[in-house]
């Protein structure tokens, strides 16, 4: 089943809105290293900084996935699994317009052990569904 033009346009609008939303939230405040006299306060600040860095990393990965999906719309490859080249279900695309893999290929990819250098390159939450 191929996607209709109006469906692709709807997904494009959703992807553009998601991209704008993510870009609007990209605020690196909170990653500055602050020194305090209290060791406990320093630990709390370091923990908050680590959480901020993790959030920014997840958002960066998702922003890249959204940009890649918009590129696939431009090239006419949107809605086609990058692994098996079968159509991605409309239900999956409705849940995750940036999905690059069909559900079967995504499940297989999620079962594969990840190499340390690839850790964090794909957000399990972003590719779920």
Residue 62: CATH number of its domain: 1.20.120.910
The sign of the dihedral angle between the CA atoms of 61, 63, 65, 71 is negative
Evaluate whether residue 109 is within a structural domain: yes
| Within-domain flag for 126 | no
- Name the least confident of 2-6, 65-69, 87-91: 2-6
Domain coverage including residue 77: 5-118
- pLDDT tens digits, one per residue of 84-110: 999 999 999 999 999 999 999 999 999
Residue 76 lies in a domain: yes
**Cα 85 to Cα 88: distance, rounded to the nearest angstrom:** 9
27 vs 8, more confident? 8
In a domain, 127, yes or no: no
Average pLDDT, the chain: 83
Q: Structural domain tally of the chain?
A: 1
Looking at residue 113, its pLDDT comes to 78
- The pLDDT of 15-44, averaged and rounded, is 77
Please state the rounded mean pLDDT for residues 30-56.
79
Q: Is the pTM of this model over 0.75?
A: no
102 by Cβ neighbours in 10 Å (0-12 / 13-18 / 19+) ranks as buried
Per the domain annotation, does 83 fall within a domain?
A: yes
- 101 versus 40: the higher-pLDDT residue is 101
pLDDT at position 98, please? 96
- CA dihedral in degrees (71, 75, 78, 84; nearest 10)? -110
Whether residue 24 lies inside any domain: the answer is yes
Give the rounded percent of residues in the chain with a pLDDT score beyond 70.
78
Report the distance separating Cα 14 and Cα 6, nearest Å.
Answer: 12
In a domain, 125, yes or no: no
For 59, phi then psi, to 5°, come to: -65, -35
pLDDT of residue 115: 62
Query: Is residue 48 within 8 Å of residue 30, measured between CB atoms?
Result: yes
80 forms bridges with which residues in the sheet? 87
């Amino acid at each position: 089943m191929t996607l209709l033009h109006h469906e692709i346009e709807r997904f494009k609008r959703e992807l553009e809105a998601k991209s704008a939303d993510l870009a609007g939230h990209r605020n690196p405040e909170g990653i500055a290293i602050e020194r305090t006299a209290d060791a406990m306060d320093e630990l709390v600040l370091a923990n908050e900084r680590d959480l901020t860095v993790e959030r920014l990393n997840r958002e960066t990965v998702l922003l890249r996935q959204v940009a890649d999906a918009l590129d696939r719309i431009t090239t006419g490859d949107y809605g086609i699994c990058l692994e098996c080249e079968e159509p991605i279900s409309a239900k999956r695309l409705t849940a995750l317009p940036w999905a690059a893999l069909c559900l079967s290929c995504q499940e297989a990819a999620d079962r594969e052990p990840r190499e340390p250098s690839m850790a964090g390159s794909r957000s399990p939450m972003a590719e779920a569904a």
